[in-house]
Amino acid sequence: MSKTLLLSIYKNFLREKITVLILVILPLILILTATATVPDQTTIVILEGKIIDPQPNAKALAVVVNALTAVAMVTSITAFFANIQLRKVKPRLEIMGYSSRQISTTFILFATGISILTSVAIYSLSLIWFTPYNSLGFFSTLIIGSLLFSTTGLVLSTLIKSRELGLYLLLTIVILDVAFLEHPFYSRQYDNSALIVMPGHYVIRMVFRAAFKTGKIWIQYLPHVILYELFLFLLLILVTKLTSKKG
């Protein structure tokens, strides 16, 4: 029964024209922007207070940043709107015989599937312009980042009732966090230790460690990311229960 529901959700999702824009065009624009505007030369990059040696290629660095930005935007926006749509159709699904647990489990599987699909697509697209130092690590960090930002989108769509305000806040968090505040070109200008509260703080470090030869293990920050994901998940459960009681 849950399998039928999951297939139905995927079918309806892929049928929407906006899906093509979110899953295909948006990542393509971000990656092409990185390759078209950044020179093909080495650059000095300071990561975690130390200069990366050997110096990475500037274009490859831009591709990595934009790849993670694309993953974060696609998965968080998808989860955001899918959760809003789920709240609308949940009463009908319950009338059809689906339990709340079945609906929630199916939705989690759907969001996870979209995260993996997005990560595979953007990883494959990134390989056209650069070869990561640790391919498995780079791919894994994209999936980890996609799951983290997907949960972020779920939390905001549940916490904020205004769809426009929620989407604006979500895009602000994703763009500022990944593309600017955590970007090594900008973050070296200030002490970014306070950004530990942002979802991309540890993920982007994992991505850079996997993408370039830094002499550091990318998986080192995995426990921090798991704790952050657990915090978001517990927050999601709490907010869902509070809003359901009010309703």
Phi-psi map region of 120: left, alpha, beta (phi>0 left; psi -120 to 50 alpha):
alpha
Measured between alpha carbons, how far is 183 from 61 in angstroms, rounded to an integer? 10
Supply the DSSP symbol for 134: S
Parse the chain into domains and list their residue ranges. 2-246
Q: Global pTM?
A: 0.86
Token couple for 45: 């990059």
Question: Residues 206-245: pLDDT tens digits?
Answer: 998 899 887 788 899 999 999 999 999 999 888 887 776 6
Contact 76, 155 (CB under 8 A): no
Measured between alpha carbons, how far is 94 from 172 in angstroms, rounded to an integer? 35
3-class secondary structure, 240? helix
Residues 6 or more apart whose CB falls under 8 angstroms from that of 167 comprise 77, 80
Sign of CA dihedral 5, 167, 158, 92: negative
Contact 148, 164 (CB under 8 A): no
Measured between alpha carbons, how far is 43 from 65 in angstroms, rounded to an integer? 14
Measured between alpha carbons, how far is 168 from 190 in angstroms, rounded to an integer? 26
Question: Residues 35-78: pLDDT tens digits?
Answer: 777 777 777 776 666 677 777 888 888 889 889 999 999 999 88
